[in-house]
C-alpha cells in the first residue's frame, strides 16, 4: 500500500464517513461512532486514514519480514492425520 500511495501516478482521495452523513441512517452513524470512534479501525474506516500498522497488533511487520525465507526446506517426513467423527448417523461429517 505504501508503494502504491508513494507512486507519482497515484491519486489519493480521502473522505470521512461524516461527510456522507446525509445519506446514512442516523442510528448507523451513532452506532459506528460509538463502537469504533477512538480506535485505529475507526481512524481508517470513519476518518479515511490509511492505517498501515496497528500499535496494538500481535506481530510487527519488521518481525514478519525478518522470518521470510527464499525457499522452503526439504521435507524430512510427511504426516497424514485423520480426525474421524464421533457419531455415525445421517448428520455426521464424512470421513475418509
Q: What average pLDDT does range 3-10 have in this prediction?
A: 90
Beta-strand runs (E) in 23-78: none
Domain ranges of the chain: 2-51
Q: What average pLDDT does range 72-93 have in this prediction?
A: 86
**What is the H or E stretch that residue 65 is in?**
helix 61-66
Query: Whole-prediction pTM value?
Result: 0.48
Report yes or no: 43 and 51 within 8 Å, Cβ to Cβ: yes
What pLDDT band is residue 96 in, cutting at 50, 70 and 90?
Answer: low
Q: Is 29 exposed, middle or buried (0-12, 13-18, 19+ CB in 10 A)?
A: middle
Is 32's pLDDT higher than 90?
Answer: yes
Amino acid at each position: 500500500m505504501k508503494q502504491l500511495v508513494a507512486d507519482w501516478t497515484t491519486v489519493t482521495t480521502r473522505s470521512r464517513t461524516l461527510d456522507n452523513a446525509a445519506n446514512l441512517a442516523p442510528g448507523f452513524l451513532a452506532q459506528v461512532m460509538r463502537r469504533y470512534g477512538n480506535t485505529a479501525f475507526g481512524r481508517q474506516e470513519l476518518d479515511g486514514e490509511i492505517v498501515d500498522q496497528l500499535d496494538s497488533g500481535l506481530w510487527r511487520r519488521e518481525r514478519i519480514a525478518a522470518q521470510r525465507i527464499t525457499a522452503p526446506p526439504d521435507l524430512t517426513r510427511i504426516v497424514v492425520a485423520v480426525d474421524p467423527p464421533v457419531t455415525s448417523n445421517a448428520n455426521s461429517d464424512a470421513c475418509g
